[in-house]
Chain A
Amino acid sequence: MNTPLKRHHQGLMWASLLTALMLEFWHPLDGLAARLWPQWLMLVMAYWIMERSRCVSMFRGVLFGLLLDLGRGVVLGQHALLLVVGIYLLQQTRLRVRFYPMWQQTAALSGILLLQQALQWGLYRWLGYPAQWQDGLWTAASSAMLWPWLFLLLDRLNMWLRRSEN
């Protein structure tokens, strides 16, 4: 678990995290797509935590979260807080969740995603925005639906890179 990552792992991890960050920035302004836009960064981070718990630390979560806050023009620390909480919960449960069948894994992750959405709802209310709790449900649901596919995609890429290196 504590062995350092291979070079291809590092490359794939950074590429996927940066892609997720870009996708977060490309959040559509309105319409159905805006409601259903998944939490890309959290999902990609979740994959890497399950793969190697050490490669996404809370520190990295804070770093990416702050970048997201700056890029989206929201109050500093908002996304960072949500990511840190999510990363902590995943790190605590990863040893069990990792070996669950996919549907159970998705359910466990949904719990964490829902908690994040609830936190975000509270934060928006505190800041004075007319946040709707239903919106959080939509986002969490679409993120959970995406999870198995994202997991498969990243896992395939990971295995393919490993094989091509050997």
Chain B
Amino acid sequence: MAGRGTDHNPLFMDQVPGSLRLTVWVLLLVALMVLDHRHHWLLQGRALTGRVLDPVFSLLELPDQAGRQLATWLVEQQSLVARKQQLERDNVRLRVQLRQWQALLNDQQQIQALLQPMVRASGQLQVARVVALNSHPFGTRVLINRGKAEGVETGMAALDSQGVAGQVITVLPHHAWVMLISDPDHALPVQLRRTGVRSIVVGRGRADELEAMNLPLSADIQVGDMLETSGIGGRFPPHYPVAVVTHVQRVPGERFAHVRVRPLAELDRLQFLALSWGPEPS
């Protein structure tokens, strides 16, 4: 017990003045931030340290899960019956659609096999729930409740039912961080569905607006055009919808047009994410 209050600082002796200690810490932390931001050298280290946080996340999730269970328990019998009927109807409809899709998929796979012998059939989808406690300041990174133990790996594409949402960047034993396409660090190779013109979609820290880069002034782009993944880079499955063009500005004299797009995935209220590998696992 004695001395507990004084041995808290293993790096510096007590004689070192506070201003010097502050300077050293600030320099160290700025270096850490630059390394982490620019080179992502520490991502692996982060996963290791994250192992400490994994149980903490599970603990923090408890109140949310309890609330969810209580809500389920309180749902009235009647609405359950109505819901069951609705689901049965949906089930039939979806089964029929699935048959149609399977037929289409067979055709498509045959065509792709002819065109691109390297294309890998899309693997099994892993579905994860977005953990509600996520508190990234701009909501551009989310925590999901599937991790290494469930087969999640760094680099997997995260898709919601509408379009591409992001990719897995850090994997913990039972959780993983997903960087959304709205993150300023995220770049996604895309193409215009109508014309096939290629571009890169970059996040701006906002859930409702992204930027399409490297589109020449002369490129044929219109408001309302659909952008889809091009599959270049191998991270994302090709031809998956990404965003719709909302704003095109061409400034004479500049090399590229300013193109703003709206993501199809509902990035600010994601609930479930499907994780899948792109055509070439890295």
Q: Do A and B bind each other?
A: yes
Q: Among B3, B33, B184, find the residue whose CB has the most chain A CB atoms closer than 10 A.
A: B33
Contact A75 B205 (CB under 8 A): no
State how many angstroms separate the Cβ of A29 from the closest Cβ of chain B: 6
> Is the pair B22, A88 in contact by a Cβ cutoff of 8 Å?
yes
Chain A residue nearest to B209 in the complex (CB): A130
Instruction: Given A71-B56, A75-B33, A84-B25, verify A59-B136 contact (CB < 8 Å).
Output: no
Would you call A128 and B205 a contact (CB within 8 A)? yes
Q: Would you call B4 and A73 a contact (CB within 8 A)?
A: no
A10 to B2, CA, bound (A): 12
Q: Are A75 and B36 in contact (CB under 8 A)?
A: yes
Most chain A CB within 10 A, of B46, B133, B141, is at B133
Residues of B contacting A106 with CB < 8 Å? none
Contact among B22, B33, B170, B184 with A58 in the assembled complex (CB-CB below 8 Å): B22
Instruction: Decide: A70 near B49, CB < 8 A? Known: A4-B1, A85-B22, A129-B184.
Output: yes
Binds A, one of B7-15, B86-94, B224-232, B236-244: B7-15
| A110: interface (CB < 8 Å) | no
Is the Cβ of A27 less than 8 Å from the Cβ of B135? yes
Whether, in the assembled complex, A138 has its beta carbon less than 8 Å from a beta carbon of chain B, the answer is no
Give A100 Cβ to nearest chain B Cβ, in Å.
20
Query: When each residue 102-143 of chain B gets 1 if its CB lies under 8 Å from chain A and 0 otherwise, what string results?
Result: 000000000000000000000000000000011111111101
Contact partner of A129 among B143, B205, B268, CB < 8 A? B205
Asked if residues A22 and B22 are in contact (CB atoms below 8 Å), the reply is: no
Contacting B137 at CB < 8 Å: which of A58, A91, A124?
A124
Q: Are B2 and A4 in contact (CB under 8 A)?
A: yes
Chain B: interface residue total (CB-CB under 8 A):
49
Q: Give the residue of A54, A67, A73, A85 whose beta carbon is less than 8 angstroms from that of B5.
A: A54
> Cβ of A88 and Cβ of B18 under 8 Å apart?
yes
A92 at the interface (CB under 8 A from B): yes
CB pair B5–A2 under 8 Å, yes or no, is yes
Assess A81 versus B204: contact at CB under 8 Å? Given A27-B135, A54-B6: no
Q: Answer whether residue A80 sits at the interface, using C-beta atoms and an 8 A cutoff.
A: yes
What is the bound-complex CA distance between A66 and B135, given in angstroms?
15
CB distance from A66 to the nearest CB of B (A): 8
Q: With both chains docked as a complex, state the minimum distance between the C-beta of B227 and any C-beta of chain A, in angstroms.
A: 21
A59 B32 Cβ-Cβ under 8 A: no
* Assembly CA distance A123 to B281 (angstroms): 34
A88 to B18, CA, bound (A): 7
- B96 adjacent to chain A (CB < 8 Å): no
Would A30 and B137 count as touching, CB distance under 8 A? no
* A78→B34 CA distance, assembly (Å): 10
Given contacts A54-B6, A57-B8, A67-B53, contact A84 B133 (CB under 8 A): no
B60 at the interface (CB under 8 A from A): yes
Q: Contact mask A139-159 → B, CB, 8 Å, 1/0? A: 000000000000000000000
Would B22 and A129 count as touching, CB distance under 8 A? no
CA distance A58 to B19 in the complex (A): 11
Please tell me if the beta carbons of B25 and A62 are within 8 angstroms of each other in the complex.
yes
